[in-house]
Amino acid sequence: MVKLGLPIAVDPTEALLQMLYHAAGHVSWLREEIAASEDLSKFETRVLVELYADERDRVAKVAKAALDAGVAERQVRLAEKYGDLLANLLRAIFSDPELGLTEKQQKTIWDTVLRRHLLFAEEGRYSGQRELVA
């Protein structure tokens, strides 16, 4: 017996992104399967090639729909909002009287320590480990 999933509440932006990610994953898998085939004239391979073409079209359509819906702009706004939130959180932590940091120490933290860690994170090298602090 075949069953379909139950309806779930989903944000339209998130739904578009999920469909884009799924379709892109399908394209990648189909490309690998076709590349591994030794005989492109076999029926199974021709079916994969047809599915590959359809799925590539689907990626393009969903990507366009996401762009038209302003998904990229929304992601930028969310990233900016998250960055502001994180900056405010860090400012509050480092200026907390319980830490007892002087203004000079706080400035040093912002100008050197945080910058170093943000650069590591931006480069994809951040692990949060002590060896990166030195």
What is the residue whose two structure tokens read 């990229």? 72
**3-state DSSP of 51-107:** HHHHHHHHHHHHHHHHHHCCHHHHHHHHHHHHHHHHHHHHHHHHCCCCCCCCHHHHH
**Two tokens at 106?**
């706080």
Per-residue confidence (pLDDT) for residue 6, from 0 to 100: 85
Per-residue confidence (pLDDT) for residue 114, from 0 to 100: 84
- Judged by average pLDDT, the poorest of 11-20, 103-112, 115-124 is 115-124
pLDDT grade, residue 133 (50/70/90)? very low
Per-residue confidence (pLDDT) for residue 85, from 0 to 100: 93
What is the residue whose two structure tokens read 């892109």? 24
Average per-residue pLDDT in the chain?
88
The predicted-structure confidence for 37-62, as pLDDT tens digits, reads as follows 999 999 999 999 999 999 999 999 99
> d(Cα 105, Cα 111) in Å, to the nearest integer?
10
Domain spans, the chain: 12-69, 76-132
Q: What is the mean pLDDT of residues 8-25?
A: 92
Between 23 and 4, name the one with better pLDDT: 23
- Judged by average pLDDT, the poorest of 4-8, 12-16, 41-45, 125-129 is 125-129
**Two tokens at 96?**
């907390």
Residue 66 near residue 22 (C-beta atoms within 8 A) = no
pTM of the model: 0.57
